[in-house]
Structure 1
Amino acid sequence: MIQMNKKILSEVKEKIYGYVAKRRLREAFSQARSLAETMMDFESADALQRSEETYRHMLHYASTGAEDPTRAEMTARLSDSILSVVDILDRKNRVADEPSLYYNVARFENMRPAESLGMLVRQYVKLAGDTSIFNLVAGSHKQEEYRNTLIERQELERRIFNKVWTSHPLRPADAAVLDEVFSGQSAPDYFKSLMVWALTLGQLAFFDAARIELLLGAYTSGSQQVKAAAIVGLLLCLGDVRGRYIPRKVINRLEAARETTAWHSDLELAYKEFVRTRDTDRITAKIRDEVVPEMMKLRPEISRRFSGELPVDPEEMEENPQWQELLEKSGVTDKLKEMSEIQEEGGDVMMGTFSHLKSFPFFHDVANWFLPFHTDRSELEEGDAAPMKALADILMAMPMLCDSDKYSMLLSLQAAPEAQRSMLMQQINAQASQFAELRSAMLNTDVTDRRDMLRKQVQNLFRFFRLYRRKGEFANPFDRGIEPAGAVGLDSLCTPALAAVVAEFYFSHAYWLDGLKVARAIDGLQAAASVPDSPEYLLMQRMGFAAMKLGLYDEALRYFNHILLVTPENPWVMKNAARCHMQLARYDKALELFVALGSLPEYAGDASVALFIGHCYLENADYDKAVKAYFKAEYLGAKPKKVLRQLSWALLMNGDADQSRRYLERAMSATGPVPNDYLNLGHIALVRGDFKEALDSYRRNIATRREAGALTEDAAREAFIADVAEDTAELGRLGINTELLPLLVDSLFYTL
């Protein structure tokens, strides 16, 4: 096969995908066949020719008007055959010399064709059985031998993971081996979960319906642990296969999975956990930038007051009244309470802590990021194994940590000094006991356990795509998100109730665009929002606010106007709708809403409403009414920085230069001068006929522009000229000879 320029191949591939999406299959076949022949991949060219012949036969029957109930499915299958061949050509072209990890691993596996997946799995199953028996009968004198056996087994796990991950397309024999692994009892559950993630990562690289079929098999026949991994993998894969043909046998298996009792609830829980990761970066930043710095600030004070006897953790500090007083005064108590509430809601508060503990060689292998935590590890057989095994047993029982973080903790404590390790193990043991007590008090532990399992799977995945040292080589599914609408098998995630919950989550954390995307897709929202105080009615208000925050003012007004049809005197909506009209320069409509808002009893004395009314009159050049509105706003208590400058300008435009100057000087005294103040002082002086004062004010305007904005002299002058030009028409209306203005500007510049 001839290697092709990757950029050119990528462009051709994109063009072929476009033809298929537009159902222009004749051009797609022609381009794909030409690509295969150029690369001298005659096997792919022959496959395309056979598919095209089938397509031509189908076209012949279609052109005669003959009915064919299988035509739609056949068209989809033939379309996908083109895409599949193009994917294979692209992969073959890249596997030759692409330096990314995926292709490095693929090249390694290609060099060992004799080591089939079936052979490796048989070796692994035998070794897993041998180590289980060995673990039961071996004495301490056999520890090193047992550890070596575990290392051999772990190496096989890695090899099998890599082979499943990078094989494309999966051969029927390999698929049969994996199907047997999932349905049988010969392999441990953690190995099955590992295979789920190998299949998922491979599917995210290249589409292969066989992988989806195997994931469905893993879900229907697996333990709760395997089901949790499989449903998260399916959520990712099904959300990523739009436009691809899924064979009938896979659809049938999907329908069978959907008939199981837990499918819909598991899928919904997994989707919610995926959505929740959107907030992880904010939580991590909050801990890093707010909680930790405040705790560090307390350290000198605690050392001074308590002779350096520092508590080992914040919870211990809260138990001591003196420490508690320090925490409350510093605000740390409120922050810790907020973090606790976030964790109770399912927020990932551990990401920031463990993100610094992923540099161990253990995490250099992709497989280990997805490996379920278990105690049958070679790391637990080094030296005095008893303490580390005890720690591993404790970690196994801690639901708040995902598998990846448990391995981080185990490896970091293994490297810690003995004294520090013992102290930390005591803390961990105490926390594990607390969680055990809390769990025993729960009424519905089954749902909690399933949610915890799903959360751990999503967190493992999130950590890999965010923290793996070569993460840039992988397309991050958390960046693009999951949009269930139109995705095969995900229709149960498109219910209005669930979409509303997801949208509210996004809105409550200020992810405006994410929430808006979800809420827009809710069927029947407008009709449901016509009921006052219904959840949909409140959601539509949030949609309006989100659109306004994104600058989508027309869209925001659609939502706000609907609410105002239902409840015409909704003050919050009236105010925000008016603000949208102002952003769109529709000042008459904004004024109408603000006047109506000000007529409501609870807003009759609202200074902000009077201020907005003044702004609308000012923009409409109704200066007399603008002055009255600003005076009212001042009387009602509007802050000087919000009203005095606007009032000064309205007075000037209304022809009262002396009073305009007094109010501008009040503003400058109350809040400090800004560059634009000197520009307006210059205008006022011109209207009053004091040219010397005008030139002095303009000179100060240029100087303060330069200082405040770190501008060059030329940039400050150009900005000044632009502002004078913008105000020229208004100054002319006030009686200034506008032909004089350029002369004044030149005169000013000669003196600078």
Structure 2
Amino acid sequence: MNFREIEDWYTRVGDLIKQQRIIDALNKIASLPFLKGNAGYLPRIEELRFTYANMLSYTIKGVPDPSRDKIYNRLLVSVYELADNLRMELISKTGMQLVSMKRNLESDMRRENEDMAESLMGLSFDHELDEMLRDTVLFDDETESETAIQHRKAILRAFGLLWLTDKLSEDDASQVARIFDSPSIPWYEKSMMVSALTLGMLRCFDSRKLILLADLYNADDPRIAQRALVGMIISFSIYDNRILLSNSIMDRLSVLKDNERFSLESEAVIIQLIRAKDTEKITRKFRDEIIPDVIKFNEELSEKLNLEKLMTPEEFQDKNPDWEKYFDNQPGLVRKLEELTNMQMDGADVFLGAFSMLKSFSFFRELPNWFMPFYKEHFAVVNALRDESDEFRKVLSEGIEKSVYMCNSDKFSFILNISNMPEAQKNMMGQMFGAEAEQFEELAGEELSDPYLRNKRIVIQYIQDLYRFFRLHPLKGEIGDIFSLPLEVHNTEIFRLLARDKQRLKSIASFYFDHDHYDEALRIYQSLEQSGESYAELYEKSGYCHQQTGKYEEAIASYRKADLFDTNRIWLLGKIAQCHLKLNNTRAALETYLEQDIFESDNLKTAAAIGTCYLNLNEPEKALDYFYRIEFADQGSPRAMRPVAWCLLILGRTEEAAPYYDQLLGMEPNAYDYMNAGHLAFSLGEKQTAAEHYINSIRQRGGDITSFLKGFVSDGKYLISNGVDASELPLMMDYVRFRAGEGS
């Protein structure tokens, strides 16, 4: 089996267990070709079958058993663990690079005769790290000394062990706790270790890793705590059912129940995970819309303002007064840039496209470095800026470190790319970060006074780091992509148990709704309704979500519920009418629009909708009354004149229609104006004039005779009712076709 087949098999087994289809799950496990002739797993499968059969027998016979639920839950856990073990063994037989990495770690352990706290695959922590943990002095040596190099190797080794150990033993977990309690290991290395725990959880379910993440959420340093929270939230999404079955995890998580801080910060994590799913869309918008406009703007500005001359040294400090005027003439570009800026300030990932090509530095070849928090003393930063001036090095490194809009991974990319920049660009960067130093200080002050804001920014940057790893790392095909999963943590049972404040769900639903994720928003609204929530906005937004996803009958039902609260009545009636139109129920739409018109008789859009409904119901006389109302309010406008002229024409009131078409043809007539003017002339017996108008209609359509003929045939009934001989219709069509060049 290849990796994809293994994962599909494992997912199917998990789905069967979640549905409590134990026999089917065991059969799916037993069906593996790998098990034929393998005496190791078959007895365990039969043991689980036997246990389940006995439990079923006692249940059906009505034998009282107060421990039955515990036995059943333990059985479910055992089937899960059996599937885990089989999955990891199957993966170990593939040629994946991760398998090689794990084997190399195992070889290192054996070579060094390390046998401490053996886990399922025999991995343990190395003696270099153990030496560090005995120290009480913070290790912050960023040099290339032997001690520093050994330290970094030990940290990388520990990262690999936390990530690639399938399940931690109790002793392993205790050793991990020592890492995070040790005063000798700095916050940034501990933060990196949190990521290793999270990666380990994503690779294979491990209750001890999740409990460690829960413990780390209480860390004094928010940079560690918030990373742990992100790992927990992602784990909740993936392992909801398994977490509920684990007594040890549930006991540990119970302290978070109804915890306001956990509830509020979890909301921030969930919203950022949702926002991350729009990253590719933002990148496309930046690449396809904004960048071309900026390039065009620069070219036009350079030509208009003679920038080459302007940027000579003696004039470098001068500002051109035409700049501001020229920006005023580019409202589209300004609007897009403002939109992008606002999105960035809210936490949107706008830099992926710019930095995705800057992940090939040797720094990123060490996988743990994708999760390293940026700090200006890091040896890679020091080395990258070694040849720069002291002032430039200080301004740039401090500016990058304090920047709240770049994630850690991109900060390293930026610094590592400095050596490739022209001197002029370096100077510009130094000036830019120097100018923004005051703003960075203000933001830092805000974070000191608002811990929630500080924690939110940590989460934003960290999730962007994760996004880059899962989308850009060379091993992405083996690691999987959490951002391709639904990650609807708010819909998990574990989250509902821990964060019972419905305001969190409402906030998440609003975020989905505001960002056009209507299916996801609707699921939350339906959940709120099922829990007993009942208010106008809930039904209004549910209806809108249904409408936007094409479920018009359901939308009408929700809108009708909202209407019972007697708020936003006019808006609701308009939406209900739109849904009726989508369902081709013109009569119901008309009745709804007429009801809306009672409350808002001066609304021209409603009048237009009513008129259109009457036209579609073949009642042009009634339609005309509403179109006259529009014309009276918007006199001389072609859009107001067209429906009036058309109604008069099909009602046979040709003399009244004639002045309208005369005016329309004197404005900027479109293909339909020419066609309808032709119908009018044909009805009045002016065939030559009619033919000329028809030919002009074809020209307006770019020579598309087919679309013209389709419209002409459709309108034939009106021509006949106006007295045109039916036998002349095909003759007129052929004449026009000859004149238009088709018959030559």
Shorter chain as denominator, the TM-score bin is 0.7 to 0.9
* Corresponding residue of 2:627: 630
The answer as to 2:41 corresponding to 1:44 is yes
* Corresponding residue of 1:253: 252
1:131–1:150 CA contact under 8 A, matched in 2: no
Q: What pairs up with 1:668-687 in 2 under 5 angstroms?
A: 670-674=667-671
Structure 2 residue corresponding to 1:114, chosen from 110, 115, 124 = 110
Q: What pairs up with 1:285-304 in 2 under 5 angstroms?
A: 289-290=289-290, 292-293=294-295, 296=298, 297-300=300-303, 304=307
1:268–1:493 CA contact under 8 A, matched in 2: no
2:374–2:401 CA contact under 8 A, matched in 1: yes
* Corresponding residue of 2:415: 410
* Corresponding residue of 2:119: none
* Corresponding residue of 1:192: 190
Q: What pairs up with 1:310-459 in 2 under 5 angstroms?
A: 327=327, 330-331=330-331, 341-351=342-352, 353-374=354-375, 375-381=377-383, 383=386, 387=390, 390=394, 391-393=396-398, 395-416=400-421, 420-421=425-426, 424-440=429-445, 444-459=449-464
TM-score, reference length from structure 1: 0.80
TM-score, reference length from structure 2: 0.80
* Corresponding residue of 1:713: none
Greater displacement, 39-48 / 325-334: 325-334
What are the superposed Cα offsets for residues 527-585 of structure 1, whole Å, 9 maximum, x if unpaired? Answer: 6525xxxxxx3x64444444434433333323432343332773333333322222222
Q: In structure 1, how many angstroms separate the alpha carbons of the residues matched to 2:315 and 2:89?
A: 56
* Corresponding residue of 2:609: 612
Letter in 2 for 1:274: L
* Corresponding residue of 1:228: 226
1:150–1:377 CA contact under 8 A, matched in 2: no
Q: What pairs up with 1:23-38 in 2 under 5 angstroms?
A: 23-35=20-32, 38=35
2:124–2:161 CA contact under 8 A, matched in 1: no
Q: In structure 2, how many angstroms separate the alpha carbons of the residues matched to 1:134 and 1:218?
A: 20
* Corresponding residue of 2:560: 561
1:610–1:630 CA contact under 8 A, matched in 2: yes
The answer as to 2:488 corresponding to 1:482 is yes
Q: In structure 2, how many angstroms separate the alpha carbons of the residues matched to 1:703 and 1:471?
A: 55
Q: What pairs up with 1:647-726 in 2 under 5 angstroms?
A: 647-656=644-653, 663=660, 667=664, 670-674=667-671, 707=703, 717=706
Q: Specify which structure has the bigger relative contact order, considering alpha-carbon pairs within 8 angstroms and separated by 6 or more residues.
A: 2
* Corresponding residue of 2:595: 596
Shift of 1:155: 4.1
Partner of 1:424: helix, strand, or coil?
helix
Residue ranges of structure 2 left out of the alignment (5+ in a row)? 115-121
Shift of 1:703: 7.4
The answer as to 2:74 corresponding to 1:86 is no
Letter in 1 for 2:374: F
Letter in 2 for 1:44: Y
* Corresponding residue of 1:711: none
Q: In structure 1, how many angstroms separate the alpha carbons of the residues matched to 2:541 and 2:601?
A: 26
Residue ranges of structure 1 left out of the alignment (5+ in a row)? 531-536, 709-715
% identical aligned pairs:
25
Q: In structure 2, how many angstroms separate the alpha carbons of the residues matched to 1:730 and 1:45?
A: 80
Across the aligned residues of Structure 1 and Structure 2, the Cα RMSD in angstroms comes to 4.6
Shift in alpha-carbon separation, 1:287–1:211, aligned structure 2, 3 A:
same
2:139–2:184 CA contact under 8 A, matched in 1: no
2:123–2:165 CA contact under 8 A, matched in 1: no
Shift in alpha-carbon separation, 1:541–1:31, aligned structure 2, 3 A:
closer
Shift of 1:236: 0.8
Structure 2 residue corresponding to 1:123, chosen from 91, 111, 128 = 128
Shift of 1:396: 3.6
Shift of 1:330: 4.7
Letter in 2 for 1:458: I
* Corresponding residue of 1:586: 585
Q: In structure 1, how many angstroms separate the alpha carbons of the residues matched to 2:461 and 2:102?
A: 29
Shift in alpha-carbon separation, 1:27–1:569, aligned structure 2, 3 A:
closer
* Corresponding residue of 1:503: 509
Q: In structure 1, how many angstroms separate the alpha carbons of the residues matched to 2:450 and 2:593?
A: 53
Q: In structure 1, how many angstroms separate the alpha carbons of the residues matched to 2:500 and 2:574?
A: 32
Report how many aligned residue pairs link the two structures. Answer: 720
Letter in 2 for 1:377: F
Letter in 2 for 1:465: F
Letter in 2 for 1:372: P
Partner of 1:187: helix, strand, or coil?
coil
Greater displacement, 235-244 / 181-190: 181-190
* Corresponding residue of 2:118: none
Shift in alpha-carbon separation, 1:690–1:394, aligned structure 2, 3 A:
closer
* Corresponding residue of 1:201: 199
* Corresponding residue of 2:526: 520
* Corresponding residue of 2:270: 271
1:32–1:82 CA contact under 8 A, matched in 2: no
Q: In structure 2, how many angstroms separate the alpha carbons of the residues matched to 1:312 and 1:488?
A: 64
Q: In structure 2, how many angstroms separate the alpha carbons of the residues matched to 1:6 and 1:462?
A: 22
Partner of 1:621: helix, strand, or coil?
coil
Shift of 1:51: 2.0
What are the superposed Cα offsets for residues 112-151 of structure 1, whole Å, 9 maximum, x if unpaired? Answer: 5627786544323536989978867x9xxxx65x1x5544
Shift of 1:46: 2.7
1:607–1:638 CA contact under 8 A, matched in 2: no
Q: In structure 2, how many angstroms separate the alpha carbons of the residues matched to 1:518 and 1:310?
A: 60
Letter in 1 for 2:188: Y
The answer as to 2:167 corresponding to 1:164 is no
The answer as to 2:93 corresponding to 1:96 is yes
1:574–1:597 CA contact under 8 A, matched in 2: yes
Shift in alpha-carbon separation, 1:720–1:335, aligned structure 2, 3 A:
closer
Shift in alpha-carbon separation, 1:526–1:11, aligned structure 2, 3 A:
closer
Shift of 1:519: 3.3
1:493–1:499 CA contact under 8 A, matched in 2: no
Partner of 1:357: helix, strand, or coil?
coil
* Corresponding residue of 1:574: 573
What are the superposed Cα offsets for residues 2-60 of structure 1, whole Å, 9 maximum, x if unpaired? Answer: xx477776665565445434433223223312326645443232322222222122122
Shift of 1:240: 1.6
